[in-house]
Structure 1
Amino acid sequence: MSATIGHILYDDTCGFCRSWIPRLGPLVRSRGIEVTPLQSPRVKERLTVPMLDLLTDIHLMFENGQTIRGPEVYRYIMRRVWWLVPFYVLSTLPVLRNVFDWGYRKFADNRYRISKACKLPGA
């Protein structure tokens, strides 16, 4: 097991996020990344950003204090998993980068509706 280098912070009140993101756990833990709900006490005491700002995106908070958010979190993970590298490369190409970012934003903005439609209960 790798030393912890960061935490993926996700919205635990979102049904989709609540069911999908923890499934990434084994994949990212082997790369030193833990999966933590944004609503956990540890996150609240460590971050000074208002909760409403945090809830707009998934975040990756590194132990050194640096954070990345949104589609960059997925790119970070894809770049470190050998079988996801082709998707990482595609997501960085000029036109496809915009498509990937747009798709992420649309999904993130509608995740509660998607969760409800898929009958995925949130917290």
Structure 2
Amino acid sequence: MIKHAQPRIDLLYDADCGFCTQAVGVLGRVDRKVRVRVHPLQSAAALRQFGLTREAALEQLWSLDEQGRRHGGAEAANVALSAALGFAGPLWLYRLPGVRWCQDQVYRAVAANRYRLPGSAGSCALDR
């Protein structure tokens, strides 16, 4: 039987956001095969890798797949979670009619209020 390689994803997140840092920590615990590489948007090298300005990076979470495609917001979260799990289920679910709209709305609300949400103490709390 031929075993297919699991996708590798790069994820750009806000390391100054406690909520974001905590979410990346949870993703890291799920990602036992280290398929997702995380990069703080505070890194100029990471911004160049993603082809984003700091302002654009601050607007939402970003993922970059092996084909060089960028995904933003809730879609980026689903791409990263699918890669971490080694199972495309979260991304398939996201693409169902109505689910994308709901997840995008919730994501926008969370992103707009992320500095007010509970979480760890920002970039100094990330151990990855």
TM range (shorter): 0.7 to 0.9
- 1:95 maps onto 2:98 in alignment: yes
**Residue from 105, 110, 113 that aligns with 2:108:** 105
The CA RMSD over aligned residues, in Å, is: 2.9
| Divergent runs of 4+, >6 A | none
Structure 2: runs of 5+ lacking an equivalent: 124-128
TM-score, scaled to structure 2 = 0.71
Deviates more, 1:39-48 or 1:96-105: 39-48
Structure 1: runs of 5+ lacking an equivalent: none
Amino acid aligned to 1:122: G
Cα 1:22–1:40 change in 2 (3 A) is farther
> Which residue of structure 1 lines up, in the alignment, with residue 9 of structure 2?
6
How many residues align? The count is 118
> What is the alpha-carbon distance in structure 2 between the residues aligned to residue 53 and residue 32 of structure 1?
24
- 1:17 maps onto 2:20 in alignment: yes
**Residue from 40, 43, 49 that aligns with 2:43:** 40
- 1:53 maps onto 2:73 in alignment: no
Identify the structure with the greater helix proportion: 1
> What is the alpha-carbon distance in structure 2 between the residues aligned to residue 33 and residue 63 of structure 1?
11
> What is the alpha-carbon distance in structure 1 between the residues aligned to residue 119 and residue 29 of structure 2?
25
